[in-house]
């Protein structure tokens, strides 16, 4: 089919990378692109990188961004959908305040822009187009820089009063590890890639524990420990990396069991940079870590890896500008 009015763009704004996609009216990708998220500067620099990445994806589809029916954005932080603003996105540089990301991008791209919560749009994408289509209720767990969660209950997204699904900040250890949110003992304090990197750095630099994690990071010219670096380190038997990944798997399994004990969901979908990178074998390990804590353990729900993979967040964002 040609580039009709239903050709839309989607941008998944992450702490490590910006993933963009152009989809047709059946939500099939026509082009995609990816750029690293700026690690310094401020929201305007991030917005500029997002616009560039969106132009790259459009070019891949043989289009200018102005020809798109709209662009959806999945963003971290506090999203005001009506105003198109994003507030306090802590994994992005200099983004403590409120920034008019929607209007800024609309101007740069020459089309309308809608902003949604990154995890909500990725969960919606899996529910409508991915691995979740056969279920009425599910928990999406997005294991990346942070640990996000999205809920579908009774066939509909459940956002509570606007901030439901903060799976990463369910407490699994009272007085436990420090979480990037400022609290203690949250799942993200053990499984979020940012918290894992801080822990690895502390163990290596303060306590002298041996690890190749940071050598690999420099060798591959990465600004931080990406999912790919963690995977490499684990594959080559790096003891500290293996220990921290095991700890993350335990935290995720424990938290998922608690969520299921409360909500008795039909399925759990694991996505995010780490979730997609580590894939099925680790989904199985998370399931094993879950089982001892599951109250109704005679019919545990499946734990499945996000089918849309790395593009899921961007495709979900494009769903924001349907019709």
Strands 138-143 and 267-271 turn out to be parallel
Tokens of 237: 């038997």
Q: Is-contact 251 191, C-beta < 8 A?
A: yes
Verify binding: residue 181, Zn ion, rule CB under 5 A: yes
Report d(CA 165, CA 140) in Å as an integer.
9
Verify binding: residue 179, Zn ion, rule CB under 5 A: yes
Q: Which stretch binds Zn ion (CB under 5 A): 43-51, 185-193, 201-209, 299-307?
A: 185-193
Q: Which stretch binds Zn ion (CB under 5 A): 103-111, 134-142, 183-191, 298-306?
A: 183-191
Q: Is-contact 227 277, C-beta < 8 A?
A: yes
Cβ at position 2, least distance to Zn ion in Å: 47
Report d(CA 92, CA 157) in Å as an integer.
26
Contact with Zn ion (CB under 5 A): which of 8, 55, 114, 169?
169
Residue 3 or 181: the one with the smaller Cβ distance to Zn ion is 181
Residue 183 or 215: the one with the smaller Cβ distance to Zn ion is 183
Strands 71-75 and 113-117 turn out to be parallel
Verify binding: residue 191, Zn ion, rule CB under 5 A: no
Residue 96 or 284: the one with the smaller Cβ distance to Zn ion is 96
Report d(CA 125, CA 74) in Å as an integer.
11
Verify binding: residue 183, Zn ion, rule CB under 5 A: yes
Q: Which stretch binds Zn ion (CB under 5 A): 46-54, 167-175, 228-236, 287-295?
A: 167-175
Give the binding-site size for Zn ion (rule: CB under 5 A): 5
Residue 94 backbone phi and psi in degrees, to 5: 60, 25
Verify binding: residue 171, Zn ion, rule CB under 5 A: no
Q: Which stretch binds Zn ion (CB under 5 A): 59-67, 184-192, 194-202, 272-280?
A: 184-192
Residue 6 or 181: the one with the smaller Cβ distance to Zn ion is 181
Calculate the CA 116 to chain-centre distance: 13
Query: Which sign, positive or negative, has the C-alpha torsion 66, 16, 235, 304?
Result: negative
Residues that bind Zn ion (CB under 5 A): 169, 179, 181, 183, 186
């Amino acid at each position: 089919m040609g580039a009709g009015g239903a050709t839309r763009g989607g941008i998944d704004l992450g702490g490590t990378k910006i993933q963009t996609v152009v989809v047709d009216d059946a939500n099939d990708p026509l082009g995609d692109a990816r750029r690293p998220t700026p690690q310094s500067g401020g929201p305007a620099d991030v917005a500029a990188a997002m616009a560039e990445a969106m132009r790259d994806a459009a070019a891949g589809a043989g289009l200018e961004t102005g020809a798109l029916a709209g662009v959806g954005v999945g963003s971290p932080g506090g999203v005001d959908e009506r105003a198109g603003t994003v507030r306090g996105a802590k994994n992005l540089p200099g983004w403590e305040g409120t920034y008019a990301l929607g209007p800024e991008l609309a101007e740069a791209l020459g089309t309308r822009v809608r902003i949604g919560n990154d995890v909500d749009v990725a969960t919606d994408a899996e529910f409508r187009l991915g691995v979740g289509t056969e279920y009425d209720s599910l928990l999406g767990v997005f294991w990346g820089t942070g640990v996000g969660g999205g809920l579908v209950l009774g066939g509909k997204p459940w956002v509570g009063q606007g901030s439901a699904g903060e799976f990463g900040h369910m407490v699994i250890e009272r007085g436990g590890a420090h979480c990037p949110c400022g609290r203690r003992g949250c799942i993200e304090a053990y499984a979020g890639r940012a918290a894992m990197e801080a822990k690895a750095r502390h163990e290596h630099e303060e306590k002298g524990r041996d690890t190749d994690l940071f050598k690999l990071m420099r060798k591959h010219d990465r600004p931080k420990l990406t999912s790919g670096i963690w995977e490499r380190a684990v594959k080559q038997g790096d003891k500290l990396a293996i220990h921290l990944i095991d700890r993350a798997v335990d935290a995720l399994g424990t938290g998922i069991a608690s969520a299921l004990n409360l909500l008795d969901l039909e399925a759990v979908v694991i996505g995010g940079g780490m979730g997609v990178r580590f894939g099925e074998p680790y989904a199985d390990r998370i399931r094993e870590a879950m089982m001892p804590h599951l109250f109704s353990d005679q019919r545990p729900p499946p734990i499945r890896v996000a089918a849309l993979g790395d593009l899921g967040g961007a495709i979900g964002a494009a769903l924001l500008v349907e019709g």
